[in-house]
């Protein structure tokens, strides 16, 4: 693997062909894809704005913008809803949903912000390894390997998951 990105599917607005160069991670959304390059700079392609200059440690594309975690744990979002967010602790990672964003702090608790129509931005107490934000719900993997979901229809989304023994 050489870190070159390959994308396929509908190409409205130039969403499919990635820019040249290598990436260490990618995040695709409805209207754009964002990637984190070696060294921490970000690039996005598709319908929306480029990310701001500087270094990121994590990145996530979403329907109408993108967000990244800066060194030190501050989230910065660009596009239709630009913002800088400091969580209750430094963020280690994040996931951008349709209208909300959730992250995991370096200490383990989840932290969310944005629209909370269905409770998708109100994470339960506990320590998480990762989270993934959807349209009206969020799911997270806890430190014991369990999957916990909250927000719209969360009981059906999480009901079948438990830690592997």
101-141 per-position pLDDT tens digit: 999 999 999 999 988 999 999 999 999 999 999 888 999 99
pLDDT of residue 83: 79
Q: Which domains does the chain have, with CATH numbers?
A: 20-158 (2.130.10.30)
Alpha helices in 65-142 (DSSP H): none
Q: List the structure tokens of 52.
A: 């701001």
Q: List the structure tokens of 31.
A: 């209207």
For residues 120 and 89, the model is more confident at 120
131 contacts 137 by C-beta, under 8 angstroms = no
Sheet holding 137-142, edge to edge: 128-133, 137-142, 147-151
């Amino acid at each position: 693997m050489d870190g070159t990105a390959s994308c396929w599917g509908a190409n409205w607005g130039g969403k499919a062909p990635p820019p040249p160069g290598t990436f260490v991670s990618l995040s695709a959304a409805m209207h754009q894809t964002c990637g984190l390059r070696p060294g921490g700079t970000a690039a996005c392609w598709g319908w929306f704005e480029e990310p701001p200059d500087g270094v990121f440690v994590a990145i996530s594309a979403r329907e109408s913008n993108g967000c990244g975690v800066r060194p030190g744990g501050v989230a910065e979002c660009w596009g239709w809803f630009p913002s800088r967010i400091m969580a209750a602790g430094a963020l280690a990672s994040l996931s951008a949903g349709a209208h909300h964003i959730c992250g995991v702090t370096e200490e383990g608790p989840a932290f969310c912000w944005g629209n909370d129509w269905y409770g998708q931005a109100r994470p339960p107490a506990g320590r998480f390894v990762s989270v993934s934000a959807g349209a009206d719900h969020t799911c997270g993997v806890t430190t014991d390997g369990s999957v916990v979901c909250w927000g719209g229809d969360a009981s059906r989304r999480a009901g079948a998951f438990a830690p592997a023994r």
